[in-house]
Structure 1
Amino acid sequence: MRQKKILVLSVPAIIVLGIDQLTKWIIRTTPELQSKTLIDGWLEFYYTQNPGMAMGIDWLPTPVISGVAILATMGILIYLIRSLDKASIGYLAFMGLIIGGALGNISDRIFMGYVYGNGGVLEGHVIDFIYFSLRINDWTVFPYIFNVADIAISVSIISLLVFNKRLLQHDGVVESEESNNATEVADSPSQA
């Protein structure tokens, strides 16, 4: 069972990391895609490099943000490995998406400084390119530009919040509930 859980955690992480890095490479190396309307008034590719945190928050220097992201990801991984036996499959799958997204953005921070010649390790900027351009009057509905890693992280966090009772149940809790139900059925008087 432990090997299955490791697979459930690692496969989504690897898939998200691969898709994220592939799409960023395509955008980075294809100038005609760097500013392209996909659905007029709704969706665009708009290439940018984000030196800060999510949603363009830029409170700290890029190397500090990179270090914090690496430490946080390592902390999450250590927690997941220690609690693997008790974690549910659904929870691990969504956490795999979060880990994959985090690794995708960390990869940019480690390597993009070298690629663009604007710094070294931990000085790279995260590549963002997906932009929902819907406007109501002069107000942009969602003014942030993001990437595949951000989508994986956001969908996972929202799913964990919405479906927390199902996804956050530990296997031990589920098993004990099932055994309690079986005991109750066995103890109930039979109808003849």
Structure 2
Amino acid sequence: MKKAIYIIILVLLIDQISKIYIKTHFVLGEEIRVLGWDWFRIHFLENYGMAWGTEFGGKSGKLFLTSFRLLAIVGIAYWLYSAVKHKGHSILITAIALIFAGAMGNIIDSVFYGVLFSDSYQQVATFMPEGGGYDTLFHGKVVDLFYFPIIENGTLPSWIPAIQFTWPDWLPVLGGKEFSLFVNRTFTFFQYVFNVADTAISTGVGLLLVFNKKAFPKKEKKKKLKKHINPPVVVHHYEKQR
């Protein structure tokens, strides 16, 4: 359990220190190149939504998402406790600890940043401003900062067609809305802006996928191994000769 606690504390410290520094030193949208490299940048963005800068239904969606995250945190915490209690593989415990820490890091932003900081639009944010924060409790924005545009302004091959159409009106939710894919022939890879918490979550999930067999050993194999180590004792009964 100590290893898991150390991982959680380390991730939370790096995540929150980096976010607080960005909030109190950068204007929203400001960008710098790290060591002059084009492919590694610090780019300050905020979002109401999920990991990697994706959004979910504005403010009402934000409240739902924050509430869901809090419930998920409880579930992940129990999962971690159960893995430690049942002496799960170190990969499993490490992965869950990373996922828990990442979820906690973004939850802190979502729950508290709205009341702790002033707005970052066209100004550097102030910590604990006199007039109050930029929003209410549970409506804070998640701070994103890492940007790796490894390929910028790349051009799609001509054999990839542009797709554009309007969904039929009778379809629920999507009806009447336009759908487009590959219409813009230029692209950027990797275009997502993210934070340390997102990285921790992705790393944890990646560990579970790559080392799935070690993280989740099958019970049948354990039983076979136990039988091999401790073979059953066979008792022979002989009929008494007259």
Give TM-score, length-normalised by structure 1. Answer: 0.82
Looking at structure 2, the residues matched to 122 and 97 of structure 1 have their Cα atoms a distance apart, in angstroms, of: 23
Deviates further, 53-62 or 38-47: 53-62
- Aligned CA distance change for structure 1 residues 175 and 11 (closer, same or farther; 3 Å): farther
Match of 1:182 in 2: 229
**Aligned counterpart in structure 1 of residue 51 of structure 2, from 54, 74, 81:** 54
Match of 1:96 in 2: 97
Looking at structure 1, the residues matched to 216 and 194 of structure 2 have their Cα atoms a distance apart, in angstroms, of: 27
The 8 Å contact of residues 27 and 34 in structure 1, kept in 2 or not, is answered as no
The 8 Å contact of residues 34 and 129 in structure 1, kept in 2 or not, is answered as no
For 1:123-167, what per-residue CA distance to the aligned partner results, in whole angstroms no more than 9, with x for missing partners? 000000000112223311121100011111101101110111012
Looking at structure 2, the residues matched to 174 and 19 of structure 1 have their Cα atoms a distance apart, in angstroms, of: 40
Give TM-score, length-normalised by structure 2. Answer: 0.66
Looking at structure 2, the residues matched to 50 and 30 of structure 1 have their Cα atoms a distance apart, in angstroms, of: 18
Matched, 1:77 2:77: yes
SS at the partner of 1:119?
coil
In the TM superposition, 1:97-136 aligns within 5 A as 97-114=98-115, 115-116=117-118, 117-134=133-150, 135=152, 136=154
The 8 Å contact of residues 10 and 96 in structure 1, kept in 2 or not, is answered as yes
Matched, 1:146 2:146: no
- Aligned CA distance change for structure 1 residues 12 and 174 (closer, same or farther; 3 Å): farther
SS at the partner of 1:118?
coil
- Aligned CA distance change for structure 1 residues 175 and 7 (closer, same or farther; 3 Å): farther
For 1:89-141, what per-residue CA distance to the aligned partner results, in whole angstroms no more than 9, with x for missing partners? 22011111111111110011111101122212110000000001122233111
Deviates further, 16-25 or 47-56: 47-56
Structure 1 segments of 4 or more deviating over 4 A?
172-178
Q: Counterpart of 1:96 in structure 2: which amino acid?
A: A
Q: Counterpart of 2:105 in structure 1: which amino acid?
A: G
Looking at structure 2, the residues matched to 105 and 143 of structure 1 have their Cα atoms a distance apart, in angstroms, of: 20
The 8 Å contact of residues 102 and 196 in structure 2, kept in 1 or not, is answered as yes
Looking at structure 1, the residues matched to 54 and 136 of structure 2 have their Cα atoms a distance apart, in angstroms, of: 21
The gaps in structure 2 that reach 5 residues or longer are 119-132, 156-185, 232-242
The 8 Å contact of residues 83 and 92 in structure 2, kept in 1 or not, is answered as no
Q: Counterpart of 1:167 in structure 2: which amino acid?
A: A
CA shift, 1:30, in A, is 2.2
SS at the partner of 1:84?
helix
Deviates further, 116-125 or 161-170: 161-170
Match of 2:162 in 1: none
Looking at structure 2, the residues matched to 76 and 68 of structure 1 have their Cα atoms a distance apart, in angstroms, of: 12
More helix by share: 1
Deviates further, 54-63 or 9-18: 54-63
Looking at structure 2, the residues matched to 14 and 168 of structure 1 have their Cα atoms a distance apart, in angstroms, of: 25
How many residue pairs match? The answer is 179
The 8 Å contact of residues 26 and 44 in structure 2, kept in 1 or not, is answered as no
Match of 1:40 in 2: 37
SS at the partner of 1:140?
strand
Rg comparison, structure with higher value? 2
